[in-house]
Amino acid sequence: MIRNVLVFSNLTKDPDHKHTSRLIDFLSSMGAHVYMFDREPLPGAEYLEEGRSENLDLAIALGGDGTMIRCGHKLQGSGVPVIGINLGTLGYLTEIELDSMEDSVRLALSGSFTVEERVMLEAKIGDDPKRYTAINDIVIHRDLSDGILTLRCDINKHFLAEFRADGVIIATPCGSTAYNFSAGGPILNPVSDNLILTPLCSHAMLDRSVVLRGEDELDFYIGGFTKEDHALFIADGGRAVSIPSDTWIHVKKSRFTFPLARVTDRSFYEIVQRKMRP
């Protein structure tokens, strides 16, 4: 039985707290202890300091796929499964709709859910010891005030190509339906053990995506610039990091995974078909 539940809500999509409060009230009525990372949690919930998730059994995110990803990063490495309640349009990660929220959450509290361990990425920039992680993708992009980016790519220390392009996307299968897809990359089943390399507006012969094995490691060398003196590195659409020329960026599969909880048997391919419907 699930007892300790984190509620992670996108309050810009629930500005009057109507749906979040409804969820908290229901969880409390089912005997669950409810927590929020907010220092002033809503009535019925307790404040939980970030990083103190060892006693959590489940996290429920209210919002869209972006909310799910932010929740996943907050809980990274904890192993706490995350399930999503959709407050926006049809998403790939949020599977519970508001009209079935109580029935679905009741199932989750009884332990009637499966967990899909989604691949994550890890990146290191130059000699900086900091590690960046991503659930969807990592993007290396030219600064918009600069010209074409020259980017060498090695796979497992073997030269693959030199891209003259706007940049590249390194996506997980989970992120294959995000920026990667918009850039013409392939859609993969989200539980696949693969990585995707997709160039952006490439002027090189290799201007198509490459699907790699999960154990493959990528190294990118950023060459000179035509005007400005930096490129941009972005993990999961977060804050851009400026990268100077003559820098290596190392990307590989992370030791962490994103544990996505599911209570329905809705097929990924059904979601794709609905999203692609005109």
pLDDT at 128: 95
pLDDT tens figures, 56-81: 999 999 999 999 999 999 999 999 99
Query: What CA–CA distance (Å, rounded) separates 65 from 238?
Result: 14
Check residue 84 and give its pLDDT. 96
* pTM of the predicted model as reported, rounded to 2 decimal places: 0.94
Mean pLDDT of 243-264: 95
Catalytic residues: 65
Map tokens 């059994």 to a residue: 57
Q: State the pLDDT at residue 206.
A: 80
Name the region of 160 (left: φ>0; alpha: ψ -120 to 50; beta: rest): alpha
List pLDDT tens digits, range 124-136: 999 999 999 999 9
Render pLDDT for 95-117 as a digit per residue (tens, 0 to 9).
Answer: 899 999 999 999 999 999 999 99
Average pLDDT over residues 31-60: 96
The angle formed by the CA atoms of residues 107, 111 and 116, to the nearest 5 degrees, is: 100
Q: Which of 1-5, 8-12, 192-196, 261-265 has the highest mean pLDDT?
A: 192-196
Walk me through the domains of the chain, giving residue ranges and CATH numbers.
4-113+263-276 (3.40.50.10330), 120-256 (2.60.200.30)
Mean pLDDT of the chain: 93
> What mean pLDDT do residues 243-255 have?
95
Name the pLDDT band for 226 (thresholds 50, 70, 90).
Answer: low
Q: Of 183, 188, 190, give the one whose Cα is nearest residue 168.
A: 183
Residue type, 140: I
**Per-residue b or e along 28-43, where b marks 16 or more CB atoms closer than 10 Å to that residue's CB:** eebebbbbbbeeebbe
The beta strands (E) that lie in the chain are given as: 4-9, 33-36, 46-47, 58-63, 82-86, 114-125, 131-134, 137-142, 149-155, 158-165, 167-171, 194-200, 210-213, 218-222, 230-235, 241-244, 247-262
Residue 130 and residue 132: Cα distance in Å, rounded? 7
Query: Is pLDDT at 146 greater than 70 in this prediction?
Result: no
Rg of the chain (C-alpha set): 20
Is the pLDDT at 270 greater than 90? The verdict is: no
Is 277's pLDDT higher than 80?
no
Summarize the chain as % helix, strand, coil (round to 5).
20, 40, 45
Position of tokens 């409804």?
22
